[in-house]
Amino acid sequence: TPAPPLDLNNIQGDILGGLPKKTETYFFFDVTNVDRFKANMTQFIPHVKTSAGIVKDREAIKEHKRQKRPGLVPMAAVNVSFSHLGLQKLGITDDLSDSSFTTGQRKDAEVLGDPGTKNGDTFTPAWEAPFLKDIHGVIFVAGDCHASVHKKLDEIKHIFGVGTSHASISEVTHVRGDVRPGQVSAHEHFGFLDGISNPAVDQFDQNPFPGQDSIRPGFILAKENGDSRAAARPDWAKDGSFLTFRYLFQMVPEFDDFLESNPIVLPGLSRKEGSELLGARIVGRWKSGAPIEITPLKDDPKLGADAQRNNNFDFGDSLVRGDQTKCPFAAHIRKTYPRNDLEGPPLNADIDNRRIIRRGIQFGPEVTSQEHHDKKTHHGRGLLFVCYSSSIDDGFHFIQQSWANAPNFPVNAVTSAGPIPPLDGVIPGFDAIIGQKVGGGIRQISGTNPNDPTTNITLPDQDFVIPRGGEYFFSPSISALKTKFAA
The residue ranges that bind ligand HEM (CB under 6 A) are 188, 190, 192, 194-197, 246, 248, 250, 283, 285, 332-333, 336-337, 356, 358, 382-383, 385, 396, 399-400, 404, 433-434, 465
Q: In the complex with ligand HEM, which residue's Cβ is closer, 31 or 283?
A: 283
Residues in the chain: 487
Residue among 86 and 382 whose Cβ is closer to ligand HEM: 382
How far apart, in whole angstroms, are the C-alpha atoms of residue 191 and residue 244?
23
H/E element holding 110? helix 105-112
- Least distance from C-beta 332 to ligand HEM, angstroms? 5
**Backbone dihedral region of 199: left (phi > 0), alpha (psi from -120 to 50 degrees) or beta?**
beta
Cβ nearer to ligand HEM, comparing 459 with 478: 459
The answer to whether the CB of 223 falls within 8 A of the CB of 233 is yes
Q: What is the four-CA torsion angle of 237, 241, 247, 253, rounded to 10 degrees?
A: 170
Please give the Cα distance from 239 to 15 (Å, whole number).
10
Tell me whether the omega of the peptide bond preceding residue 460 falls within 30 degrees of 0, making it cis.
no
Spatial contact of 475 and 241, defined as CB atoms under 8 Å apart: yes
Rounded Cα–Cα distance for residues 204 and 391 (Å) = 19
Give which of 283, 252, 250 is closest to 468, Cα–Cα.
250
Q: How far is the CB of 69 from ligand HEM (least distance, A)?
A: 29
**In the complex, least distance from residue 167 CB atom to ligand HEM, rounded to whole angstroms:** 33
In the set 14, 98, 114, 194, the catalytic residue is 194
- Residue number of the CB closest to ligand HEM reads 197
Q: How far is CA 182 from the centre of its chain?
A: 23
Is residue 167 within 8 A of residue 262, CB to CB? The reply is no
385 backbone φψ class: left, alpha, beta (φ>0; ψ -120 to 50): beta
Cβ count within 10 A of residue 415: 18
Using the minimum distance from each CB to ligand HEM, give the nearer residue, 186 or 486.
186
CB of 192 to ligand HEM, least distance (A): 4
Query: What's the min distance (Å) between Cβ of 385 and ligand HEM?
Result: 5
Quote the CA–CA distance of 14 and 54 in Å, as a whole number: 8
Pairing of strands 214-215, 200-201: parallel
Q: Report d(CA 343, CA 167) in Å as an integer.
A: 51
Instruction: Give whichever of 52 and 138 is closer to ligand HEM, judged by the CB atom.
Output: 138
Give least dist CB 20 to ligand HEM, A.
Answer: 17
For 271, phi then psi, to 5°, come to -60, -45
94 noted as active-site residue: no
Nearer Cβ to ligand HEM, position 429 or 481?
429
The closest alpha carbon to 362, from 193, 144, 180, belongs to: 180
Beta strands in 335-420 (DSSP E): 357-358, 361-363, 382-389, 414-415, 418-419
Query: Between 382 and 410, whose beta carbon lies closer to ligand HEM?
Result: 382
User: What single DSSP character describes residue 179?
Assistant: P
**Least Å from the CB of residue 397 to ligand HEM:** 8
Given the complex with ligand HEM, which of 403 and 485 has the nearer CB atom?
403
Tell me how far, at minimum, the Cβ of 333 lies from ligand HEM, in Å.
4
Active site residues: 194
